[in-house]
Structure 1
């Protein structure tokens, strides 16, 4: 019987998000693909250093400890390398003792299509074009950047999400952009009983919630937080939407336009997902952050 990943959280990740390939990329940009390929072959026994998502991936894979029958988390490598040049990546995976056994090497083509084929709930990459294509295909995806300082060292994995255009559709954000705060507040108050449509990260949050229920609330190794610029009375629609979806969120921060950075640091997020690049740039001072190229903000 063919294997499937039913009831497993599936994360697809690019080689450049998992490892630091800055030097390799420099050679590619300066000298072309042939020099890049030869460089990778010449250095294939040289251990690659961790990249922006390395810590998150290691924590997620640790959730499989004690899961003897079926892994709770499956990490898939999706790479623009060829199989030949990708040998260095797999050697580094083995040396770092990461249990990643499945991969797609596309020799320069965008690998996002394989994220859907593998049933990935999330695709992390450093290539904005691949991420945008994945978002347009309905896959939760983000362009991840590394933090400038060391992040959360605890064993608990903490995910922080923006609301509009990430967990939820950008319906309300469109009203805010066209009519301002007053129109936005009026619309959200009038629509408080109407659940928001799901955004690109709804299914990923649902998959996390399903995994959380395996552990229970007392000793769960995963925590989630909504970190949004919304405030009262626009908070009610968000709360009712999550209730309608039957999805638990552990912490909800309604900041009313305040800078999110200090709150993300206080939460101790391992990664933060937001649709606005300005928020990502500030947050990366402390935590890994993923830009979600979705919604009216990213169409300007």
Structure 2
């Protein structure tokens, strides 16, 4: 956790609000047409985007604790001029977001470290890849085919290999097959896995959870992995070695993750594999983490 007092999440304006129409105008008419459109519609409130519910629930933690424990930062490729519509919409929706970087078309990923962000969410895959390469937890947001849950509790689900953990085991599976993977995991069961790009973010979430009684936490986490017994043991022992609590762990043995994520009520799910992400996005909001061996020879999501 970069700041012992805060969980800091950086988010792009297109992840926070529905800017599909604005983006279409940008792609069809260019930057000048986009700027003109945004200024002409400056007083029109933007509708919530795919990560809006997630952000609202994150910020609600501050109200529950009555102290500034969570901060959301806006990182936008808009100019400050065209970004007025975004801030007007933030005010209209009552979101306590006061810090922002407007980069006028340039990638904003360089400001992640400056703001001390623990997580970066964006709809721009290239910005996400740059952030991951720089050592930050980051994901490309995919819209869900179903609306977000309206429960008050924030529910976040993670894949294991190449997200919470390194991709060392995934590499063995891809290079040598399932049997070799199972043998390797059994032999290494008592050796903790190395951390993946989301280890620090999970640790920060866990820290915030410890500020509440276990049965009253506004945050609930889940590990949703294609692993099955006996490959589950190393995962359990790894989290124990990290001293990090996961509230629920689902070892699916290759079953489709979407129905289980829906049953968990995830506000967002993070996975490194595009196939899993697109399947999951039929049920819940999903973040593609373009990290590890599964993304070496595939185009951005």
* TM-superposed deviation, 1:216: 1.9
- Within the alignment, does 1:253 sit opposite 2:250 as a pair? yes
| TM-score, normalising length: structure 1 | 0.97
Aligned to 1:287: 284
Aligned to 1:49: 47
- Within the alignment, does 1:264 sit opposite 2:257 as a pair? no
- Within the alignment, does 1:30 sit opposite 2:28 as a pair? yes
- Within the alignment, does 1:78 sit opposite 2:71 as a pair? no
1:232-258 C-alpha deviation (Å, 9 max, x unpaired): 111111001000000000000111111
Q: Note the 1:83-162 alignment, pairs <5 A.
A: 83-162=80-159
For structure 2, list consecutive stretches of 5 or more residues without a partner in the other structure. Answer: none
* TM-superposed deviation, 1:193: 1.1
For structure 1, list consecutive stretches of 5 or more residues without a partner in the other structure. Answer: none
Number of matched pairs: 296
* TM-superposed deviation, 1:179: 0.2
Aligned to 2:237: 240
Asked if the contact 1:151/1:286 (under 8 Å) is kept, the reply is: no
* TM-superposed deviation, 1:150: 1.7
Say which of 57, 60, 84 aligns to 1:59: 57
| TM-score, normalising length: structure 2 | 0.96
SS of 1:215's partner is coil
Distance between the aligned counterparts of 1:177 and 1:66, measured in 2?
45
With 192-201 and 5-14 compared, the bigger mean Cα shift is at 5-14
SS of 1:41's partner is helix
Aligned to 1:207: 204
SS of 1:290's partner is strand
Distance between the aligned counterparts of 1:149 and 1:169, measured in 2?
31
Asked if the contact 2:121/2:139 (under 8 Å) is kept, the reply is: yes
Distance between the aligned counterparts of 2:3 and 2:253, measured in 1?
39
Say which of 229, 233, 240 aligns to 2:226: 229
Aligned to 1:13: 11
Q: C-alpha root-mean-square deviation of aligned residues, in Å?
A: 1.0
